[in-house]
Amino acid sequence: MRFIILNLLSLGITPTVVGHSGPHRQEAQNLNKFLKSNAINPAAINGETRHTGGVHLACAILEASNQTAVVFPSDGELYTQIDKAHASATAPKNPACIYTPNDVKGVSLGVKVATFVQAKFAIRSGGHSPMEYFANIDGGVLISLAGIKTLEYNADAQTQRSGFGNLWQDVYRHVNAQGRTVVGGRTGSVGLALTLGGGLSHLSNAYGWAAQNVLSYEMVLADGSIVIASEEENSDLYFAVKAGANNFGIVTHIVQRTYPLGKIWGGSMIFPGNASAQFMAALADYQAKGQLDKKSAILPYVGLIADAVVAQFSYLEPVERPEAFEAFYDIPVIQDLTQVWDTFAAMVTAPIPYNMTRFTYATTDLLYDKEAYLEIEQICHKYIPRMRKLEGGDIMLMPQPISVSMVDEARARGSDPMGVADQPQLWFVVSSGWNLAQDDAEAESIMLDALAEVEEYTKSQALHLPFYFLNDAFSTQMPLQSYGAVTYSKLQAASRKYDPTRVFQELVPGGFKLV
């Protein structure tokens, strides 16, 4: 509480602690002073709400500031629609209110209000994460960034400025119109918060991680101040936020490098499920040879119960069936949806023929080894009988080959907080999919048991790497610590400096936290 008091005093505000016994005169004066300092009429907050305090007071203040920006459970279908705007049915919760500001000043107010009344809150950008409470909250304030829709291309600097209310498909469409692209998500429906966890892209083989191509982050800090984090300004914060998730503030905009790009080849190929071992062998062969072509990328989905392997290919030139992917051309194909696309946006917004109602995932990392790739796929097959017992149950594997060029290109663009080893490796994701909420615990257990056996095997073969890619990590994994002690201490130092009152550690319960 001492640090909170110091922080509010620096703003010229005496903190208000509203209890259920009713606000005292001084507390009422403090609240009125806070409201006036933020251009809100104190008369808009009734006595009952003042008495209740906490999150209900926070919601009332936000509604008084902008009535159309706040939605309550009593708003029925509108509330439900906004609350459920997540990729997985595991993510929606029951926030006391949903606040959707349309500019950075509105985001700043949301943080100041939550801090003043000590109300817990969550932040949602694209809502792609399936993890509970990462982008939603029960009984707190959900700050949705859906209204931050800025899209500005700077032709002189050849940079793209984008608000966090956009999805990657919005950004791609905007910048592709200029004959350029950015290093961003591999599917169009993912949000821009991908750049807070490194970010793996179809362009990473050529240009490194998405975050390494962000020139600056616009952020709202715990005291409501708006800052720029870049190599030139607040460089320690810039380093930390590139892979430190929501631990330092709310990112509202990013400025990215852009690269020239015209027509490309890519799309999905669907292989039969009984070819999964053949596919894993081909993936290893691709990584050994084809991935040396920096224009190539692949995003595989190996469905063990759906009995299909879906691979999304990308090649940054309009070359039909590029030689880089020749290892896959001998596998029988159920359906070939690859083609030459006019724009990158068109390719990444094409539907991927794989969908799960409820899903979650976890990740591990191992060194390149063809025999190991085949073995870990077979290990996961052992868990099919358990998963079949769940309605709609499936185990999906995402074996993501990581090249040395990805690491080198990332480092060439500045300090990389993730500290990925400069060796060929596989970021191996095990994902569970199912239909019913009553099966959540069992579905997660199956996934984690499979992953544990995979790690037991890779450790026995001296292939395990102690790195966990944050954007694919399960809520109980520790990706921030996996960056190494030196980087982790830098993240902690940035948190202490930019969030001394621990707002984003304690009032924002979701996400991977700094200990």
- In this predicted model, what pLDDT tens digit does every residue of 397-419 receive, in sequence order? 999 999 999 999 999 999 999 99
User: How far apart are alpha carbons 15 and 9 in whole angstroms?
Assistant: 8
The DSSP symbol for 352 reads: P
- Output the six-digit token pair for 191: 């949000």
Instruction: Find the largest Cα–Cα distance for the chain.
Output: 79
Give φ, ψ of 401 to 5 degrees: -75, 130
Spatial CB neighbours of 110, under 8 Å, sequence gap ≥ 6: 62, 99, 101, 121, 141, 143
- Output the six-digit token pair for 329: 């051309």
- Output the six-digit token pair for 252: 């509202």
CATH T-level assignment (fold) for domain 2-144: 3.30.43
- The pLDDT, as a whole number, for residue 7 is 41
- The pLDDT, as a whole number, for residue 24 is 59
- The pLDDT, as a whole number, for residue 51 is 84
- In this predicted model, what pLDDT tens digit does every residue of 243-270 receive, in sequence order? 999 999 999 999 999 999 999 999 999 9
Compute CA 186 distance to the chain's CA centroid, rounded to the nearest angstrom: 12
- Output the six-digit token pair for 244: 């430190």
Domain layout of the chain by residue ranges:
2-144, 151-260+484-507, 264-341+354-474
Q: Which sign, positive or negative, has the C-alpha torsion 74, 76, 82, 88?
A: positive
- In this predicted model, what pLDDT tens digit does every residue of 317-327 receive, in sequence order? 999 999 999 99
Of 9-13, 92-96, 500-504, the range with the lowest mean pLDDT is: 9-13
Indicate if the pLDDT at residue 354 is higher than 80: no
Q: Any bridge partners for residue 364, and if so which?
A: 428
Indicate if the pLDDT at residue 5 is higher than 60: no
Beta strands in 116-272 (DSSP E): 121-124, 141-144, 151-154, 159-163, 180-181, 214-220, 226-230, 250-257, 259-260, 264-272
Per-residue pLDDT band at 23 (split at 50, 70, 90):
very low
- The pLDDT, as a whole number, for residue 109 is 99
- Output the six-digit token pair for 323: 């030689």
| Residue 149 · residue 161 · CB < 8 Å | no
Q: How far is CA 104 from CA 134, 192, 299, in A?
A: 21, 16, 34
DSSP secondary structure, 204-242, as one string: HHHH--SGGGEEEEEEE-TTS-EEEEESSSSHHHHHHHT
Q: Under CATH, to which class is 151-260+484-507 assigned?
A: alpha beta
User: How far apart are alpha carbons 66 and 266 in whole angstroms?
Assistant: 45
- In this predicted model, what pLDDT tens digit does every residue of 31-62 receive, in sequence order? 999 999 999 999 999 988 988 889 999 999 99
Give φ, ψ of 26 to 5 degrees: -65, -40
- Output the six-digit token pair for 176: 């592709």
- The pLDDT, as a whole number, for residue 3 is 34
Q: How far is CA 376 from CA 348, 370, 380, 476, in A?
A: 29, 10, 6, 21
User: How far apart are alpha carbons 204 and 164 in whole angstroms?
Assistant: 21
Q: What is the mean pLDDT of the chain?
A: 94
What CATH number does domain 264-341+354-474 carry, 3.40.630.30, 3.30.43.10, 3.40.50.300, 3.40.462.20?
3.40.462.20
- The pLDDT, as a whole number, for residue 52 is 84
Q: Do domains 151-260+484-507 and 264-341+354-474 have the same CATH topology?
A: no
